[in-house]
Structure formats: C-alpha cells, structure tokens
C-alpha cells in the first residue's frame, strides 16, 4: 500500500468521523429547537394565563371600587340586567329549536364555546347590538358583583332619579373597559333594542350568567 492510498483511506476515515460529528450536532440542534419550541409554547400559555387572570382581577377591582349610592347602583344594575335579558332573548329568537336547551344566558355562554351554530348566532347578536365580548365580560362581572343587593328600576323610575346616566358613568367609572360596557348598555336600552323586564323574568335574573371569578 503506497503513501497515496494510505492518505486517501485516512482522509475517508476522517470524513466519516466529521460526518458523524455533524450528524450528532444536527441531532443536538433538532433537540434544542424542540426544547426551545416547547419552552416558547409554555411561556406563551403562562403569559396568556397570567394576562387573563390579571385582566379578571383588574375588572373586579374596577367593578367594586366606585362608591355608588343605592340609587346609582340600582340604575346601573337596571341597564345591565335589561341588556343581558336582551341578549338572551335575541339569541333565542334566532334559535327557536334550542329554546328549551338554552333557558338562561349562562347556558348560551357555555354552549357557544363548543357549539358553532350557537357561537355564530351569538356573534351576530353582539354585532347587531353594537357590543363586543369585552363589554359582556364587564357587564357580567358587574351583574355578579352587585346582583345580590341591587334592585331593578323600570325606565320611568330611572328618569325620575337621574336625567343623564352617561355623565354619571363617565365621572364615576374610571376603568375604560367597564365604562365602555356600561355606556353601551345604556345606548342599547335607550335605543329601544333591549326587552322590558317583566315580573315573570325577575326571579330568573340571578341565573342569567355563571360566575366568572375563580
């Protein structure tokens, strides 16, 4: 075996070793990429979870912070209740075959998560009324926080106590999301889109929505 042949064999062996090292490095890089992707996904999940929890905490603080008088609270509660009933009624009008399965707004909120048909109708109703999911979250939180002590005032009584409720909301509610939700609730009711609260509906108001606080 001459020197040229020996050199060629050594070169091939060296190339094989280099190739194996490259393959090992490639495998390590793939593993690192996989680990990085997993960590990124976990980070995004936890970030969303923390963000969601922080948003909920902020909303509850916003709902409980203003010191409303009994009269002011009852007036705001009345608008909130009428809009929530309005949402429930409008959805049922579009889904007459599901009336028995959607007895409350709470049932709609649960069903829309997995039922595409209910979700599409829900989104359609929100659009018709000029509302967004954030508004509903704010109104539901307000309802849960104050529903056990507030009283519904019909429109005539509300007008006796306060002439422009939007001014009161703007001055007293500093959280922008809650403020927008309440202002939109007033707008929907004043435009006549919300249904009137009847005596038969009042006993079921507490069942309108599920608790959103863990």
What is the mean pLDDT of the segment spanning 14-23?
73
State pLDDT tens for residues 101-111.
Answer: 999 999 999 99
- Total-model pTM: 0.69
Domain edges within the chain? 1-64, 67-207
Rg (CA), the chain: 30
Maximum mean pLDDT: which of 53-57, 120-124, 141-145: 120-124
Q: What does the block give as tokens for 187?
A: 């707008």
Q: Are 118 and 112 in contact (CB under 8 A)?
A: yes
Give 4's pLDDT tier (boundaries 50, 70, 90).
Answer: low
Q: Which residues of 128-153 are buried (b: 16+ CB within 10 A; e: fewer)?
A: ebebbeebbbbbbbbbbbbbeebebb
CA distance 205 to 143: 9
Widest CA span of the chain, in angstroms? 113
């Amino acid at each position: 075996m001459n020197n040229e042949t020996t050199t060629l064999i050594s070169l091939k062996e060296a190339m094989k070793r280099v190739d194996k090292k490259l393959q090992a490095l490639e495998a390590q890089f793939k593993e690192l990429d996989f680990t990085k992707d997993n960590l990124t996904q976990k980070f995004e999940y936890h970030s969303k979870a923390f963000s969601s929890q922080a948003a909920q905490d902020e909303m509850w603080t916003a709902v409980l912070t203003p010191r409303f008088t009994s009269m002011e609270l009852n007036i705001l509660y009345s608008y909130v209740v009428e809009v929530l009933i309005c949402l429930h009624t409008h959805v049922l009008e579009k889904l007459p075959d599901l009336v028995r399965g959607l007895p409350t707004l709470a049932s709609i909120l649960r069903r829309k998560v997995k039922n595409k048909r209910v979700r599409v109708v829900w989104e359609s109703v929100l659009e018709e009324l000029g509302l967004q999911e954030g508004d509903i979250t704010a109104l539901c939180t307000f309802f849960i926080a104050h529903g056990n002590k507030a009283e519904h005032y019909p429109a005539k009584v509300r007008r006796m106590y306060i002439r422009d409720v939007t001014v009161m909301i703007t001055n007293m509610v500093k959280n922008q999301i809650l403020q927008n939700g309440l202002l939109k609730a007033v707008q929907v009711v004043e435009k006549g889109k919300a249904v009137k609260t009847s005596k038969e509906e009042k006993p079921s108001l507490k069942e309108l929505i599920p608790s959103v606080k863990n």
